[in-house]
Homo-oligomer: A and B are copies of this chain.
Amino acid sequence: MDRTQQILAGDLRAVARLIRDIDDGLPKAREILKELYPHTGRAYIIGITGSPGVGKSTLVDQMIQNLRCCGKTVGVLAVDPTSPFSGGAILGDRIRMQRHSTDEGVFIRSLATRGHFGGLTPSTRGAIAVLDAMGKDYILVETVGVGQDEIEIVRAAHTTLIVLIPGLGDDIQAIKAGILEAGDIFVINKCEREGTQKTRQELQMMIEMDKDRKVKGGWKPTIFACEAVKNEGIEELMSGIEEHRAFLFQKDANYFERFQQDRARMELFDLVKQDVVQAVMNHLTGSGQWDQFIRELVQKKTDPYTLAERILACCLKLEQDF
């Protein structure tokens, strides 16, 4: 069996190796991804995001447990920002999910590498495709933070959970701004803390205010309160996810078709961006021209805008048809 067949057969070692190769940006990994592509599209993908400290890993752990009890297989990807210091942190964080490590129906991996040219998004999508092709029923993608990259990743999910904790006060405003449009379901975790009711009301108000719900196909985001560490509220949350899933697949709305197109568009855009930027940068740095440009900039002999235009003129040919 070649590596592609091993993945399709669910060989855990082959899967782990391929995800590592994707993370490392090996060309061979890309060739395998091409072969796997026709076998993707079956898994249901759930994105989970929110600020550090809201208890995402504990929540994911309970979600795994719940899905396993229903006989579903689960893949988990935890996306962490690159850092030379992150090794220990990621490990510590993932310890909470360890109880599933001997369960053959669960596959958990951390993705740490961002690559030099903003490659986090393509490599995460690649890893999702691998878990999809190996036959997992559900894929949970957990991302730290609320940055743009993270939002892009969870946008690729069928259902996106935004996790909050009560008591952020006025500053919930700041959260609202960035993530409202990305969320299908809001989870107020650590709901035994003071302020849960207030946070729920604020979220509710914010959802009501959003009359123009085009991006979500008209779906009105729902709110669930959990105490994940005690496994409270998880069943209700899982029902909420199934409710959104049913909405997504409703046939008369053509919504799923558009959803698929949006995903394909994002995926291709991210890949093109990565490839084009990488090729141009390799060309510039390989020829030593890049360092020369930087020296000229520091000496203020030129400005970055003029240089960028010169680079564009030299590297692109856009007259041609495909």
Residues A33 and B303 in contact in the complex (CB < 8 Å), given A272-B280, A312-B279, A315-B276: yes
* Residues B181 and A276 in contact, CB atoms below 8 Å apart: no
Residues A178 and B144 in contact in the complex (CB < 8 Å), given A85-B210, A93-B173, A209-B85: yes
A148 within 8 A of B: yes
Residue from the set A146, A271, A318 with the largest chain B CB neighbour count within 10 Å: A318
* Residues B316 and A178 in contact, CB atoms below 8 Å apart: no
Contact pick for A51, options B52, B88, B148, B269, CB 8 Å: B52
Contact pick for A174, options B53, B117, B279, B303, CB 8 Å: B53
Q: How far apart are A83's CB and chain B's nearest CB, in angstroms?
A: 5
A320 proximity list for chain B (CB < 8 A):
314-315
* Residues B268 and A277 in contact, CB atoms below 8 Å apart: no
* Residues A120 and B148 in contact, CB atoms below 8 Å apart: yes
Q: How far apart are A13's CB and chain B's nearest CB, in angstroms?
A: 23
Helix, strand, loop or mixed for chain A's interface? helix
A99 within 8 A of B: no
Contact pick for A303, options B34, B169, B177, B284, CB 8 Å: B34
How many chain-A residues does the 8 Å CB contact rule pick out? 97
Chain A to chain B: the 9 pairs with minimum beta-carbon distance, closest first: A147-B147, A37-B303, A86-B177, A52-B174, A53-B171, A81-B178, A264-B297, A271-B308, A89-B173
Seen from chain A, the residues whose Cβ lies within 8 Å of a Cβ on chain B are 30, 33-34, 37-38, 41, 51-55, 80-81, 83-86, 88-90, 92-93, 114, 117-118, 120, 144-151, 168-178, 180-181, 206, 209-210, 212, 257, 260-261, 264-265, 267-269, 271-277, 279-281, 283-284, 287, 289, 293-295, 297-298, 300, 303-312, 314-318, 320-322
Can you show 27 pairs from A to B with CB atoms below 8 A apart? Answer: A33-B305, A37-B300, A51-B52, A51-B53, A51-B146, A54-B171, A83-B178, A83-B181, A84-B181, A84-B212, A85-B177, A85-B180, A86-B177, A89-B176, A144-B178, A145-B145, A145-B147, A147-B148, A264-B294, A264-B298, A268-B304, A274-B308, A277-B277, A283-B318, A287-B321, A316-B316, A317-B317
